[in-house]
Amino acid sequence: MRITRLDLGRYGPFSDKSLVFRPDARLHVVYGPNEAGKSTALAAVADLLFGIEERSVYNFLHPYPELWIGAEIVDRAGRNLAFRRRKRRKGALVDPSGRELPDDALLPFLGGIDRAQFLAGFGLSAKTLKSGGEELAQQAQDSGGQFFAADYGIHGVPALRQTLDDEADHIFGPRAKASRRFTQAQERYEAARRAIREHELGAQEWKRLTERISELSDAYEAARGRRIDVEREEKRLERVARVRPILAELDRVRTERAAIGLQPTASAGAAARVLEAIRTAGEKAAAVETARRELDDALGERAGIVVDRALLAEGGAIASLMQDLGRYTQALGSRPAAVEALDGRNARWAGLARQLGFADGAGLAAAEPGAAAIATLRADLAEGRRLQSMLETATGKVAEERRRLLDLEARRAAIGAPEDPGVLKLRREAFKPLIDRLQAHADKRVKLETASRILAQKAAQLDPPVADLADLAVRARPSVAAQKAFAVERSGLEAAITTARSALEAEIAAIEAADARLVALAAGGPVPTAEAIAAARDERDRLWRTLRAALWLEPGAPSGSMLAAMTAEFETAKAEADRLADTAVRDADRVARFTVETRSRSEAEARRVRAGERLAGLDRDWRDLHARWAAAWAPAGIAPLPPPAMEPWTAKLDGLIASLEEQTADRAELAEQDRQIAAALGPLRDLARAAGVAEADGLDFVLCARRLDAQLAVLAAAYDESRALAGGIAAARQALDERLAEKPEAEAALDRWRQAIAPRLVALGLAGDTGIDAVEAVLTIFASLPDLRDKIGESERQLARLDGVLTTFRVEAERLVAALAPDLAGLPPDRAATEIERRLAEARKAEAGRKVAEARVVRAEESLKRVEQDWAVAERHLAEQAAAAGLDRGEDLPARAAVLARAEELDRRLTDLLDQLGPLADGCDEATLRVEMAAIDPDFAAAQRQDFAAARSRIDEDVNRLYAERQEAIRLRDERGSGNAADLDWQAKRAAEAELAVAARDWAVLRTASLMIDAAIERHRESRRDPQVQRAGDLFRIVTGGAFQGLAQDWDDEKECLRIVGVRASGDRIDVKAMSEGTADQLYLALRLAHLEEHAARAEPAPFLGDDLFASFDDARTGFGLQVLAAIGGEVQPILFTHHRHVAAIARAELGDRADVIDLT
């Protein structure tokens, strides 16, 4: 599809602008200087084909409803379409007659592309051309990425692939890393599993928390009661403090009212009205006195004013004279200047006559030429001046072109003939992978050192701490399974100890309870238990056996006093045994209960002994367990915490050891990098010396690489400059020849003009070869004569006017002086007039003052009459108010009215105080309030309030503390008893499982995307086989002016892919990395144009739009670029927009009729 006409009807700065494109041209160049609308015309093509954008910026001259663009287009089959596009959402396309076209009318002409594809594939600017060349250089090791960048304008595809791989590695990798999302989620999953096992609540703990909650609730209610008591006392103190001032004021007001006593009965406010009437009557009496004094003053003022009537009669004449005073003064001051101006202009006329060679002014006036003759001669002088300027310009351009040519030749001689540094650049590429990794490895080294410090800090922060993580990593330590076994054994042993201790405490409590019950049973006297009765009987029988032996005279039997004592003991023992037996019969129930309790205590004591032995055995097992636990950690040199605490410690330790292993691997990688750098340093120095870096032997690897790159850039710049200078010298020589041909033509034209004007100069009295400036000076003098003649006449008329003004004013002033002020006869007219005006002003002032005085007298008389009437009314009103209040008129009326008013005020004050007291008394009556007030000493009330406030603050703290402790106990019991904590742990576990799934899915998506990009690049590489590369090589040969013969694809063993290389005439293959920036830009342009031709073979192609593509190119490269654009003109319509005039000139010179240059201006 080709555009044959573009109509910029109402768009941007354009109105009814049309651009016509020649159908036979191979390249269209649209030229327009800055601000001519080049960018607008470029944007108009995209809006024409795909619609004016919703928020278009090109409505600054024409509003949206008026915007339209039109065109006539033709496809390869010869079908054409003329249409207009309007700013519409529907019905935007119309034909030239205004009839709507279908919205899809352009689809057959666009080849199936949309706006984004058009801008990316069929549009190219100097900026995108440069970025495309940089992209080719960055993807120099992958032809697939290069084809993507050049064909579709899609930059950064391989970089995107690398970014996807990096993001996937941040999620998951073969080795666990603490920074990876999957590893972090896995750690949270394991932590949740451990936490689930920790949240359990036993029966003993439940009982303890329940008792604690009950105790805290009782203490909380008691504290609240104390707070209510304190608040009650505080309110009483506050109430007394509020009402004390009111009660005191009540006492004072009642005392004062009682002192006044009874007063006449009158309506409310009567006394106040009497006082107001007294005040009003006094004011009216004072007003009468003031009015009388004002009348006396007005009469005196009127009598003292005298008026001059003669002056007033001449007021009009005096005013007219004073109006002329300004003109008189101006004329008097202007007359010397007018005389001087007239004399000067006459002298100027005479001087010009002498200057031109005339005897006097009359001769000059007679010789003055006409205005038409002067104008004609001046037009001829302008033509001569133009021809002279053309000659000077041609001479200057010849010198300028000669200087330019000499400068270019000198610059070329200075730089010589530098060689192409492409081979050196190609050798430099061998070091690129190593150099590219330098910064990454430097950063990695810094990160590794930082990570090592952090790892050591984390190891030291463990509890128990680890001083040497590497040493601990190789030491033996209990496995996770062994730790779990220890934890299970410890948990079981701990539960058994708790159970045994509870059993022991229970038996001790049972023994103490039995002892208490036995003491209570023994409180009524010794209990005759069966054991006690048996013991008493045994004692009795023992004594009887001894007495019976004495009765039977057995050997060794007691006798004498001993026998008597034993007999007494026997009787006592017999009586005690009988008493116990009798008591047991009488108190059989207490004896039975005592016996049961005694037996129960014995059984409890036996159980206590067994429980103590069980607990002692469990304590030995506990100590043995901890000894074995410590022994298990002894090889690692760790003093372990209890088993439950060491399991998460081990998990953290394993993570740290894994990080340590990663750091060890990273250090090995850095060491290998250092070895490679040391091995490559020698060859790199050799290459640097070959490139001209003299000090290469003393540089390290990084500095040597930087100096080499800088030197290669210098060599490339010199080589490019040499080629550019060659083209510039040829162009400069051609321009010099053109300027040399222009100079003789300018000289001949100037000579013809001089021959034509010489007779006319002689007729004017000048030599035929008089210079243009001299002739211009004479014509200027003649042209000024009419104006000078008019100014002389004007000066004569001005002087006559001034003399008339002076005479008229002087005559009138003398008349008024003689009639009104003969004493002023000796003064100048202006001073006399001023004095007469002053006297007139004084007379008028006196006249006005007399009128004011007359009016003042009238007003004073009327005011006196009015205030006397008001006074009488006020006196009558006073008498009426006094009678209404029950007061007689007299000298003491004001005092008696004031007493009555004070009594009324005190009555109102009493009512107000009682009204105020009610809301403040909290429902108490006045008597109760007075009793409370009497009971509180005001000197100590403030201290009491402070004490109560402090007590309330302390109680509030207790209430808040007890409430918080109770709520915390309830929370702990509910949380552990209901399993909420375990539920949260389960939720955390499920969240970690979900996060593991999300991380796995994200990793899979990123890796799949990376693999898809790999596949797309590979497919595109396969599609770009020899025919396309061959065509791109042909275009590359054209755009480089034959510096390269074509392109080829070489296999890269390291990357295992094809890469694009340039082929010189010598057969040398130059990698893109070794090309200069300008050559890389040319390669990108060739690849893009080859793709457009390939697209044109498959579908209807859109026009190719270039936006100042060659802004940074020299003239030679610009010519090559124009040729390569014209090379695709048979298949695709190339349109180049530029604001550089020399680009249009080069297009005409290089392409001739094949170029269609369109000027926007």
Helix axes 560-586, 588-633, angle to 10 degrees: 90
pLDDT in tens, 175-223: 666 667 777 777 777 777 766 555 544 456 666 777 777 877 887 788 7
Q: Within 10 Å of residue 894's Cβ, how many Cβ atoms?
A: 13
- Per-residue model confidence (pLDDT) at position 975: 60
Give the residue carrying structure tokens 């004095």.
835
Mean pLDDT of 387-402: 80
Concatenated DSSP letters for 81-105? EEEEEES-SSS-EE-TTS-B--TTT
- Per-residue model confidence (pLDDT) at position 143: 44
Q: Give residues with Cβ within 8 angstroms of 648, minimum separation 6.
A: 191, 194
- Per-residue model confidence (pLDDT) at position 89: 82
| Residue type, position 498, single letter | T
Query: Sign of the CA dihedral 283, 287, 288, 293?
Result: positive
Mean pLDDT of the chain: 78
Please check the confidence at residue 1072 and state whether its pLDDT lies above 80: yes
Please check the confidence at residue 148 and state whether its pLDDT lies above 70: no
Mean pLDDT of 307-331: 81
Highest mean pLDDT, choosing among 632-636, 776-780, 946-950:
632-636
Is the model more confident about 617 or about 728?
617
Specify whether the CB–CB gap between 753 and 370 falls below 8 A.
no
**Upper half-sphere CA count for residue 572 (Cβ side, 13 Å):** 6
Residue 801 CA to residue 327 CA, distance in Å, equals 11
Residue 488 CA to residue 491 CA, distance in Å, equals 5
- Per-residue model confidence (pLDDT) at position 1155: 94
Nearest to 885 by CA among 258, 272, 257, 261: 272
Mean pLDDT of 1031-1038: 87
Highest mean pLDDT, choosing among 78-82, 296-300, 1113-1117:
78-82
Please check the confidence at residue 1159 and state whether its pLDDT lies above 70: yes
Is the model more confident about 309 or about 264?
309
**3-class secondary-structure state, position 69:** strand
Residue 24 CA to residue 71 CA, distance in Å, equals 18
Q: Within 10 Å of residue 684's Cβ, how many Cβ atoms?
A: 22
For the sheet containing 1155-1159, what is the strand order? 123-125, 1104-1107, 1134-1138, 27-31, 1155-1159
Specify whether the CB–CB gap between 374 and 787 falls below 8 A.
no
Let me know how long the chain is: 1161
Is the model more confident about 1089 or about 753?
1089
Q: Measuring CA to CA, how many Å separate 1144 from each of 35, 501, 735?
A: 17, 107, 16
Residue 232 CA to residue 33 CA, distance in Å, equals 94
Mean pLDDT of 138-163: 52
For the sheet containing 93-94, what is the strand order? 14-20, 2-11, 68-74, 80-86, 93-94
Residue 264: is the preceding peptide bond cis (ω within 30°)? no
Q: By mean pLDDT, which of 226-230, 575-579, 1021-1025 is the weakest?
A: 1021-1025
Please check the confidence at residue 30 and state whether its pLDDT lies above 70: yes
Q: By mean pLDDT, which of 93-102, 227-236, 891-900 is the weakest?
A: 891-900
Confidence of residue 871 (pLDDT cuts 50, 70, 90): confident
- Per-residue model confidence (pLDDT) at position 236: 79
Residue 225 CA to residue 955 CA, distance in Å, equals 10
Residue 384 in tokens: 């001569």
pLDDT in tens, 59-93: 888 888 899 999 999 998 889 999 999 988 888 99
**Domain extents for the chain?**
203-264+896-928+938-977, 489-632
Nearest to 1002 by CA among 168, 195, 326, 331: 168
Please check the confidence at residue 1070 and state whether its pLDDT lies above 80: yes
Helix axes 1026-1039, 1115-1127, angle to 10 degrees: 140
Kindly state the percentage of the chain with pLDDT values over 70.
Answer: 82
pLDDT in tens, 833-859: 888 888 888 888 878 888 888 888 888
- Per-residue model confidence (pLDDT) at position 942: 66
pLDDT in tens, 396-452: 887 887 888 788 778 777 777 777 777 777 777 777 777 766 767 777 777 888 888
- Per-residue model confidence (pLDDT) at position 151: 43
Mean pLDDT of 126-149: 65
- Per-residue model confidence (pLDDT) at position 201: 45
Confidence of residue 146 (pLDDT cuts 50, 70, 90): very low
Confidence of residue 139 (pLDDT cuts 50, 70, 90): low
- Per-residue model confidence (pLDDT) at position 254: 77
Q: By mean pLDDT, which of 283-297, 646-660, 892-906 is the weakest?
A: 892-906
| Residue type, position 253, single letter | V
Residue 1107 CA to residue 44 CA, distance in Å, equals 13
Mean pLDDT of 726-746: 75
Confidence of residue 797 (pLDDT cuts 50, 70, 90): confident
- Per-residue model confidence (pLDDT) at position 436: 66
- Per-residue model confidence (pLDDT) at position 140: 46
| Counts for the chain of helices (H) and strands (E), in that order | 32, 13
Helix axes 980-1023, 938-978, angle to 10 degrees: 60
**3-class secondary-structure state, position 1155:** strand
Q: By mean pLDDT, which of 163-172, 698-707, 747-756, 831-840 is the weakest?
A: 163-172
CA 705 to chain centre: 42
Q: Give residues with Cβ within 8 angstroms of 152, minimum separation 6.
A: 117, 120, 121, 1091
Specify whether the CB–CB gap between 412 and 682 falls below 8 A.
no
- Per-residue model confidence (pLDDT) at position 202: 47
Q: Give residues with Cβ within 8 angstroms of 1133, minimum separation 6.
A: 1, 2, 3, 21, 28, 1101, 1103, 1104
